A and B are shown apart, each in its own frame.
Chain A
Amino acid sequence: MPLGARRTGRRVAARLLAWARPRHPETLPVTFDRRRVYVLPTRFGLFFAVLLLAMWLGALNYNNNPALMLGLLLAGAANTSLLTAHLQLTGLQVSAIDAEPVPAGAPLELRIHARADPGRARRGLRVDSGDSSAVLSLTGGNGQATLALPTHRRGWLDVERLRISTTRPLGLARAWAYVWPDAPLLVYPAPEANGPPLPEGSGANALARLRPSGDDVHHLRSYRRGDARRAIAWKPSARRDTLLVREYEQPMGADVVLDWRQLSGIDYEARIRRLARWIDEAEREGRRYRLDLPGQPPLGPGSGPQQRHACLRALALLPGASGARA
């Protein structure tokens, strides 16, 4: 029976949540007006109310006026605190949200920018979505909170309704408002952990390039972020007291072609993950690369953040496995 009751309770809660404003995603910026700010007592607030009721009943029974006055003053202050909590949110504007895309599985750092008239101090607002929460404090009318959202799948991440809430000033009531930004956030596919190396490029404009791999020692240079660990020349590094990397000379086809069609024989999502890894690897090695996906014009060749973003975005937005086979 309690299980059934709990289920009913949850259903009622879900119904109420669906009824709360906003009921649809909305375009930012959004300003909270009083109709979409909700206030309910916290558990401590209920305890406090019971305490005050006991105090009143006792005071009325004994006709003890100072005790009654004490209870009433506390109640007045508690009541004002509800209004104050409400006013912490009304007039608050959520001006924008943004996030750097991350590979699926890594937490997405969602930044929420808020603005309000600087007349009132709005401090210690909490932003939550699901299990993650962050603090939003407005100083001089502007504030920013960073919320870590878990990601599971590549593609667009639809942000759920974000709850902005506060229990200040007295912790007796929680005032909250929802914001439901319709700005979708991109989640890149997760690259596979291990796999075959980059396919070698082919083409007319093959150039000799310095690569930190190959056979012939060319020279040593200082370490740069992203260099493979096996390229580090440990002994020279120890002598110079700085990390050095061997560079080898190797003729190579400058442009790597990452072709969807050549990756037959493995799973659909595994192909995406491999391509994602290759893109990262090509970026790290500073090579130009081109991505050929079925039914899309080739991306590139090129390199750099923009090319990487374009390619990973295309991969992230590939339709699901069933859709592709159809």
Chain B
Amino acid sequence: MAAPSPRLDPQSRAWTLAAAGLCLLPLLLQLPALLGVGVGVTALLVAAVSWRRPLHAVVRVLLAVILAIVVLWLSHFAIGRDTGCALLAAMLAIKPAETFTLRDARSLLGFALFAPFATFLLDQGPLSLVLSLGGAALALAALLRLAELESGDGLQPLSAWQRFNVVWKLIAIGLPLALAAFWLFPRLATPLWGVPERTMARPGLSDRMSPGEWVDLLTDDTTVLRVQFFGRTPDRSQMYWRGPVLWNFDGRDWTQPSWLRAYPPAPVRRANLVWDYSLEVEPGDSRQLVALDLLNRPPDGTDLSQDHGLFARRSLDALTRWRMQSSPPAAFEASLPPMLRRMALALPAGYNPRSVALGRQWRREVGADDVAVVQRAMSMIRRDFAYTLSVPPLGRDSVDEFLFTQKAGFCEHFSSAFVVLMRAAGIPARVVTGYVGGYWNQLGGYWQVRRSDAHAWAEVWLPNRGWVRMDPTAAVAPDRIYDTLADRASAADSLFGASVPAPVFDVTDWLRHGWNDFALGFDANRQRELLRHLGVNDVDTGKLATLFLLVALGAILWMAWLTARAERERDPVLRAWHRMGRRYARIGLGRAPHETADAWAERVRIARPSLETALRQLSLRFNNWRYAGDRPGREANALIAALRRHRPGTHALHGDSR
């Protein structure tokens, strides 16, 4: 077996490289644009240059080192999930330079199959799925071609069409086994090792709010949450999905102090109202979750920070589901510790002098009444300000420019300016980001929260009441914020020029939701639930494994039956005829392969006279059916029945005794 591996012919090489390329494509799409294009171009160049003969080893090593350095440099030398994936892509891109024998090609295909796998670690959207499965199918087809090459049967290579047909059959026949394993194989309730985080972030809610950064977010209609309420549903204007709480302001950016996560959540006196709901969270980059208003209790696997930010213990790189109960607060942190109070009043020195002066002026005019100050600010904003997404970039004193020059902006500006005014007036305040509202998907019966629902509002601390939510943006443009405009739904599909009717939007997200339910979000909990529906209660791993083995065995038997069936006699009459021949063989009078039906009947007549009439008639009918030209269907069926009925056994005994 130590024989040198055969060299690839051009066709095999083309198949191998095409398969590797298609496997690589979805991964490249998930990398940062510059890196993706760079690796893709490198792959094409390498494949073209080394088409006839391998690249020199030095060149290969040099290429590998350069690509690795570029990848690491682009990710700022942080090793993360995406860095690993990018390195895999880079290595795959230069592998064709040394792929010239059968063994090379097989190892290339083996590693190429890791590219779809890596893609799924980064993204699980429909495009990635389709491309990755296509890549895997093409890789199997390439393996088929390589096996043809290995068998030395070069005379009649299969056509591409035949090859895909074979691949399709292989997958289809293996499907029941795969599905059984998917649904029944015991799932890990907790991971064995942690998932490395991404190092190159995508835009989304984060622990930072910088001016202008949110414009992309607010025009992105990708769904981030799907919510189903059990029992009472809050009004749209109550649907504040609370996310990162931003305390620190440096004149430009609002940031979240991470050390608050180490402290227990602040005490809350809750109102009587309870909202019970489940949350389906699309994968994201950070571990921070959002929850409706204030959570009663963090679900398993999550922690609350001091300011009631919700953090998952695992990274949220795959679809997750959470069951939560929330209530509006009656008093949220009624007594504010002095240190937090200081933090909630801090303003960067030397920034936004006019706003600070205005805040102080209000305080002087109103006196000790905090509520009056808040009302004054709200009424000013409601009266003089407008909502718009097209805002020119603001300068150094961003709040001053917004309050006194632009007088128009979106949630980011409103919340920032409001909190600065409050702090200047001596009222503790902080910015809260998250999502607001939701879109009711009629078809699926659930609420969709999209990236464009991202929002920033303010919380001010009032004596005895604690933190109170104030939304200056909603005061200006309630329709816009609470998502009550009917045409928002179709705005996403304005790609087609005319607005697409809402049902189309509903259907696409409903399908996505179903797919999430059915495949993406399947986990240990879901598995237990599924089995409970099937009447299997309190499943443990042992039971699950047994069930899986049973179903897998069934699937394998089915596969064996299906594949064996393919080789049986196609013609039912011939099949019955052969089966009858086998019955005769059991009493030593089987039809020899060369024997005609008549000769056989004659031989049987001599050996066992009692069997003569029946067999002679049958063989006559068989001959007529087979050789007399037309084959009427009903006659064939009658013949099959007769052939099946005929048993030589008992007659034979009579014949012998006579």
Query: Could you tell me which A residues sit within 8 Å of B by CB distance?
Result: 43-44, 47-48, 51, 55, 57-81, 83-84, 87, 90-91, 117, 119-120, 123-126, 135, 137, 139, 166-172
Interface string of B556-592 (1 = CB under 8 A from A): 1001100110110110000000000000000000000
Bound-state CA distance A227–B230 (Å) is: 105
- When distances are taken between beta carbons in the complex, the residues of chain A under 8 Å from B564 are 87
A59 touches B147 (CB 8 A): no
B148 touches A75 (CB 8 A): no
- When distances are taken between beta carbons in the complex, the residues of chain B under 8 Å from A139 are 156
What's the least CB distance linking A192 to chain B, in Å? 36
19 more CB-based (< 8 A) A-B contacts, given A79-B177, A80-B169, A83-B559: A43-B1, A47-B106, A61-B188, A61-B192, A62-B195, A64-B318, A66-B128, A66-B129, A67-B116, A67-B121, A76-B177, A77-B140, A79-B556, A87-B563, A120-B566, A124-B148, A168-B147, A169-B166, A171-B106
B181 contacts A by Cβ under 8 Å: yes
What's the least CB distance linking A62 to chain B, in Å? 5
What's the least CB distance linking B114 to chain A, in Å? 7
Bound-state CA distance A80–B560 (Å) is: 9
Bound-state CA distance A75–B140 (Å) is: 11
Bound-state CA distance A139–B155 (Å) is: 11
A75 touches B147 (CB 8 A): no
B178 touches A75 (CB 8 A): yes
- When distances are taken between beta carbons in the complex, the residues of chain A under 8 Å from B166 are 169
Which of B110, B121, B153, B182 is within 8 Å of A124, CB to CB?
B153
Least CB separation from A68: chain B residue: B182
Bound-state CA distance A26–B219 (Å) is: 78
B519 touches A69 (CB 8 A): yes
- When distances are taken between beta carbons in the complex, the residues of chain A under 8 Å from B143 are 170-172
A72 touches B147 (CB 8 A): no
A77 touches B171 (CB 8 A): yes
Least CB separation from B566: chain A residue: A120
B175 contacts A by Cβ under 8 Å: yes
B144 contacts A by Cβ under 8 Å: yes
- When distances are taken between beta carbons in the complex, the residues of chain B under 8 Å from A59 are 117, 120
B173 contacts A by Cβ under 8 Å: yes
Name which of A77, A135, A171 has the most chain B CB atoms within 10 A of its CB: A77
What's the least CB distance linking A3 to chain B, in Å? 17
Least CB separation from B188: chain A residue: A60
A84 touches B181 (CB 8 A): no
Bound-state CA distance A139–B649 (Å) is: 39
- When distances are taken between beta carbons in the complex, the residues of chain B under 8 Å from A171 are 106, 143, 146-147, 150
Which of B103, B120, B181 is within 8 Å of A64, CB to CB?
B120
B318 touches A74 (CB 8 A): no
Interface of B is mostly: helix
B563 touches A72 (CB 8 A): no
Bound-state CA distance A117–B593 (Å) is: 13
- When distances are taken between beta carbons in the complex, the residues of chain B under 8 Å from A80 are 169-171, 173-174, 559, 563
B563 touches A67 (CB 8 A): no
Which of A44, A65, A125 is within 8 Å of B521, CB to CB?
A65
What's the least CB distance linking B9 to chain A, in Å? 14
Q: A51-B114, A55-B117, A59-B117 are in contact. Are A167 and B151 (CB under 8 A)?
A: yes
B151 touches A63 (CB 8 A): no
A125 touches B151 (CB 8 A): yes
What's the least CB distance linking B153 to chain A, in Å? 3
Bound-state CA distance A117–B564 (Å) is: 13
Interface string of B129-171 (1 = CB under 8 A from A): 1001100100010011011101111011000000000110111
Bound-state CA distance A81–B166 (Å) is: 10
- When distances are taken between beta carbons in the complex, the residues of chain B under 8 Å from A73 are 133, 136, 171, 174-175, 178
A70 touches B120 (CB 8 A): yes
- When distances are taken between beta carbons in the complex, the residues of chain B under 8 Å from A74 are 113, 136, 140
Once A and B bind, how many residue pairs between them come within 8 Å at the CB atom?
177
Bound-state CA distance A231–B59 (Å) is: 65
B124 touches A61 (CB 8 A): no
Which of A62, A70, A75, A124 is within 8 Å of B151, CB to CB?
A124
- When distances are taken between beta carbons in the complex, the residues of chain A under 8 Å from B185 are 60
Please provide the chain B residues from 416 to 451 with a CB less than 8 Å away from any CB of chain A in the complex. Answer: none
B146 touches A63 (CB 8 A): no
Name which of A63, A67, A75 has the most chain B CB atoms within 10 A of its CB: A63
Bound-state CA distance A126–B185 (Å) is: 38
Bound-state CA distance A306–B134 (Å) is: 64
What's the least CB distance linking B148 to chain A, in Å? 6
Least CB separation from B110: chain A residue: A51
Q: A83-B559, A117-B567 are in contact. Are A72 and B182 (CB under 8 A)?
A: yes
Bound-state CA distance A51–B136 (Å) is: 14
Q: A62-B121, A70-B136 are in contact. Are A83 and B563 (CB under 8 A)?
A: yes
What's the least CB distance linking B73 to chain A, in Å? 27
Bound-state CA distance A66–B182 (Å) is: 10
What's the least CB distance linking B631 to chain A, in Å? 19
Q: A51-B110, A55-B117, A83-B560 are in contact. Are A123 and B570 (CB under 8 A)?
A: no
Least CB separation from A91: chain B residue: B567
Least CB separation from A123: chain B residue: B153
Bound-state CA distance A139–B153 (Å) is: 12
A63 touches B187 (CB 8 A): yes
B152 touches A126 (CB 8 A): yes
What's the least CB distance linking A164 to chain B, in Å? 12
Bound-state CA distance A90–B191 (Å) is: 44
B152 touches A63 (CB 8 A): no
What's the least CB distance linking A87 to chain B, in Å? 5
Bound-state CA distance A314–B140 (Å) is: 57
Least CB separation from A72: chain B residue: B178
- When distances are taken between beta carbons in the complex, the residues of chain A under 8 Å from B560 are 83
B107 contacts A by Cβ under 8 Å: yes
- When distances are taken between beta carbons in the complex, the residues of chain B under 8 Å from A126 are 151-152
Which of A55, A62, A87, A90 is within 8 Å of B317, CB to CB?
A62
- When distances are taken between beta carbons in the complex, the residues of chain A under 8 Å from B567 are 87, 90-91, 117, 119-120
- When distances are taken between beta carbons in the complex, the residues of chain B under 8 Å from A69 are 178, 182, 519
Q: A55-B117, A80-B174 are in contact. Are A170 and B147 (CB under 8 A)?
A: yes
Q: A65-B522, A126-B151 are in contact. Are A70 and B563 (CB under 8 A)?
A: no
B520 contacts A by Cβ under 8 Å: yes
Bound-state CA distance A81–B169 (Å) is: 10
B627 contacts A by Cβ under 8 Å: no
Bound-state CA distance A59–B188 (Å) is: 10
B570 touches A119 (CB 8 A): yes
A44 touches B106 (CB 8 A): yes
B174 touches A51 (CB 8 A): no
Bound-state CA distance A82–B193 (Å) is: 33
Which of A64, A120, A169 is within 8 Å of B170, CB to CB?
A169
- When distances are taken between beta carbons in the complex, the residues of chain B under 8 Å from A169 are 144, 147, 166, 170
Please provide the chain B residues from 79 to 125 with a CB less than 8 Å away from any CB of chain A in the complex. Answer: 103, 106-107, 110, 113-114, 116-117, 120-121, 124
- When distances are taken between beta carbons in the complex, the residues of chain A under 8 Å from B559 are 79-80, 83
What's the least CB distance linking A31 to chain B, in Å? 11
- When distances are taken between beta carbons in the complex, the residues of chain B under 8 Å from A123 are 148, 151, 153, 156
